[in-house]
Each structure stands twice: as C-alpha cells, then as structure tokens.
Amino acid sequence: MNDPIIIVGSGIAALAAADVLCKKRNVIIFTKSTKTDSNSSLAQGGIAAAIDTHDSCEAHFADTLAAACQHANPDQVALLVKHGPECITEWINKGMNFDKDENGAFDLAQEGAHHHRRILHSGGDATGRQFIELMLARLANEPNVLFLENEMVFDLVITDEGNCQGVLVKDANGNLHAYEANAVILATGGAGSLYACTSNHVNATGDGIAMAYRAGAEIADMEFIQFHPTILHKQGNSYGLVSEAVRGEGAILRDETGFAIMEDIHPLKDLAPRDIVAREIHKQIAGGHEIYLDASTIKNFSTRFPTINALCQKQSINPETDPLPVMPGAHFMMGGIKADPHGATTVHGLFAVGECACTGVHGANRLASNSLLEGLVFGSLTAKHILKAEIHENQPIHTRTIEKNKKTILLPQKEDIQLKMMLYAGVLRNERQLSKLINWLEQFDFHHIELRKYSKDKIEIINMLTVSWLIATSAYMRLESRGGHFRSDYPEVDATWQQKQLIRHFTEIRPVNAIL
C-alpha cells in the first residue's frame, strides 16, 4: 500500500471516514487525548433524518434552510438530507440500535425548528456515545487501522508544490515526530472550549482550524457560533448540556416568577431556532432575571433522559420536581475550514469533515441534530472520494523558510481567553467589544511562532488565540445580524451580505510551517 491516510480526531466524522477507508487503505487516527474523548460522545439529542412516512427529505431540506438564515449552500443541504436516510439504514445494518416505542416503531423526537418528529435517539439521551462505541468496536477488528492516542498533531507538512503531505506531532512525552501521508483528513471538531460557558468537551479548542489556517487553507464563516440555550448552570458554574429534546418533550423556559418567557417571542415558542431562544434567555438574564427549564410535566424523565438526569442529580436537582437553572453556552461552530462536498479544502491533499469543516450545510445557524448526520454523511462521502481519486504523488519534502518569531512569547492562561471570548464575542457582540477583544488577542504575537519549541499545552493556547482571533475579526467585519452572529449595533439582517464569506485578505500574515 502507499503512504497511509491520516485522520486527526476521533469523533463521528473521523470514524465514519475510517470505516470506509480501512477496507482498502492503511489508516492512522491521531487524537490528542483518548479515542473516546470527543463532542460526538457527548451528543445527547440524537440524529435527524426523514425516515418517517409522514416526513420527507424536502421538509427536512426546508427546515434546515430556514434555520440557516438564508446563508446555507442549498446543494450541500440537499446532499445531506438525501443521503441521510440511506446512511441511517446502513448503520442500523451495521448494528446501531435506535430507541423504539411499544409498537416497535422508531421513537422519533422533535426538536427546535423541526416541523416533524424526525430525531432518532439511542439510550434515551446517549446517541453520540452509542454511535462512537459501535464505530470503535468495528474498527478494533480492522488490521489496517492504527490509533495513536495522547499524540497531538500540531501542524501540517506542506511541500513546495503546495500539497499537504503529512503532519507534525508531539507525543505523550512531548517528543517531536513527522508522519507522511497520501492524504490528511482533519476531523478535530469545533471550538466551544474557547468560551467560559460551553457544552463542549474540554479538547474542543479549534486545533484543526488553526492548523489549516497556518497552512494557507481558506477559512469561512467563523463569526457564526451557535450558543445552545440550555446549559445547566448553578452558582456561577456550568455543568453540561440539557438537550433540546427536553423541550421537545414539553419542558418550558420560565423566569423566577414562573412566567413562560418564549410565549410571545416566536410561533414555535420554546422550540424556536436556537439563536432566537439563546438571545431571549441572554436578554432576560441581563435584565436581572433567573431562567429555569421546567420539565415537571415530562413523564419518566429519568428513563427518557438518563444522562441529563444523572447530571442534574449530581447537583442535587431533581428534574421531575425542581426547575433546572440554565443559561446559553457555546455549542457549535457553523464556520471553519472551507470544504467541498468531498471534504476537499483549498490545500491539495488536505480534507476536512465534521464540525471543523465549513461545507455550507449549516449556514448561519445549525438545525438541531443535523451535526451527527453531517459527520456520518460527509465522513463517508469524503472517504469514498479519496479511495477513487489520485490525490497526488508524494514529492520530496523541502523546507519552506519564513521569518518566524524565535523568541519565546508570554502566553495568557486558557481561562483568560475563555472569559474574554464569553464577554466580548458571545451571544451579543458590538464594535467596541470586538475591537477590545482583537486588540487584546493581537498583543500575543501568535502568527509567526515557531510551534515546535512549545509544549502541547502551550500549542493548544496558541491555537485558541488563533481561532479566537479568526472569530473576533470575522464578527467585527460582518456589519449585520444573522443566525448565530448578532451585532447589537447592527441588529438587522442585510440581504447584500447573504453569501459573503470573510477572512480572505489575511494571507499576507499566514505563516507556512517549516518542515523537519
């Protein structure tokens, strides 16, 4: 066989790609912690697909476009929803079990901005974990798959010809290694952990986006961050996600007086699109109110939502009788590394799938439970494309020289970045806040740093600074409000900005990595 295919990340998109590739190619999967640590494993709500006889791909398509606020790529959305049912069927045949009702039919749930019950779930609210366990079990029996855990890919090997031909890695002991590959797939997930309040795994620090940016790949739509309305939040601390499926089963958002805050805000009330619900909760909290999710009407809560029930019980909250204190937190990144339907980026030999990729399927606001579907569909499509295509013939690797900052720079703490991102680039933004954030970020000269001399923890902070800067700069440039991006100083939608993608004129400051 030729050089292996390298996959960076171990979430659902990474494993879906590996499941296809390993039949014909050697695959190496890198993860900076363990292979079970990912946002996919934490996914509670389920996976959306039009499999019910009363539903249709056309209806799923319409709901996805509506939630995306006129910013999605219709062709990509059509690809997603049309491949969805067959992808679900394929994984059911591979052993995935979805919850069923007493009649043996799929127990479909409804979530925000969906007009049909089309959410399949497994283990109540453990869909992501069930998927990952099945996928890992399948790959454990594949001789062509090698998992390298606790090894952090921190940069991409780019040849003089502009091809991506491998990765640079820091192992568990901080030693430096280089791996060549026929193709590299970035499946590193999102960047929710740039924020102080988030539903994301602690590892979600935007590493893949930062690497692709340094390699010169096109980055798009970084201003569109989805804030989930209901993060369990008690006494100043965040404890995890309370799935939208809870509201789908009848839970109601109320203030401390019992008033239902979404009653007159949107026709779908508590099941309005996430950006609308998150902004209303933010507004209420800013006005001095406390916001709670009242789930007391849901029968058998502990059986239907065992993960959330356990989360609440740890904080001495009984969801069947006690209101759940909630607030919005960073949940999903709609933008990222620009990728086509086959996962190809603007760097030859480099692919991106899952949340780190920007395929255009989510637009300015992701429809609930489309994320696991995206991982399955585009992970598989990308792998099939790689198997069919001749990516490139490997060329001798030569060092590309660039002026870099040779001195060690002072870096902030992760908590400093997270607090400032929450404060200045959160649910609401404005010019003053974003300017302040950009100036603070740019005092750290992270654009031309020689990464290899830094520890894994320090590289992660550099990646956080890089992606925070991309988000803040994009948000500063978009002088309108749309989906997950809301400017209090430009609160209206500007139709002329509909498909405008930012981060185009920063190429002059992009460093190209020096190769071993």
Catalogue the active-site residues.
274
Among 137, 185, 181, 145, CA closest to 23:
145
Query: And the tokens for 34?
Result: 């363990």
What whole-number distance in Å separates Cα of residue 346 and Cα of residue 186? 13
| Residue 167, token pair as written in the block | 């990765």
Which token pair is 488?
A: 């209090």
Which amino acid, 43? A
> Rounded to an integer, what distance in angstroms lies between the CA atom of residue 40 and that of residue 32?
15
The tokens describing 100, both together, are 């069923």
CA angle 350, 473, 72 (to 5 degrees): 60
How many angstroms from the chain centroid is the CA of residue 41?
12
Measured at the alpha carbon of residue 83, what is the angle toward residues 82 and 84, in degrees to the nearest 5? 90
Beta bridge partner(s), residue 332: 226
Q: List the beta bridge partners of residue 357.
A: 337
Report the SS3 class of residue 81: helix
Whole-angstrom Cα distance, residue 491 to residue 482?
9
Residue 182's contacts (CB-CB under 8 Å, 6 or more residues apart) are: 2, 3, 4, 5, 25, 349, 391, 392, 394
| Residue 370: strand, helix, or coil | coil
Give CA–CA dist 14/211, Å, rounded: 17
The residue whose two tokens read 């990464």 is: 451
* Torsion of Cα atoms, 391 then 190 then 45 then 60, to 10°: -60
Contacts of 127 (CB under 8 A, 6+ apart): 43, 44, 45, 46, 47, 120, 121, 372
Could you count the other beta carbons within 10 Å of the beta carbon of residue 19?
23
- Total length of the chain: 516
Across the beta sheet with 324-333, what order do the strands follow?
Answer: 237-241, 225-234, 324-333, 291-294, 252-255
Exposed/middle/buried for residue 394 (C-beta within 10 Å: 0-12, 13-18, 19+): middle
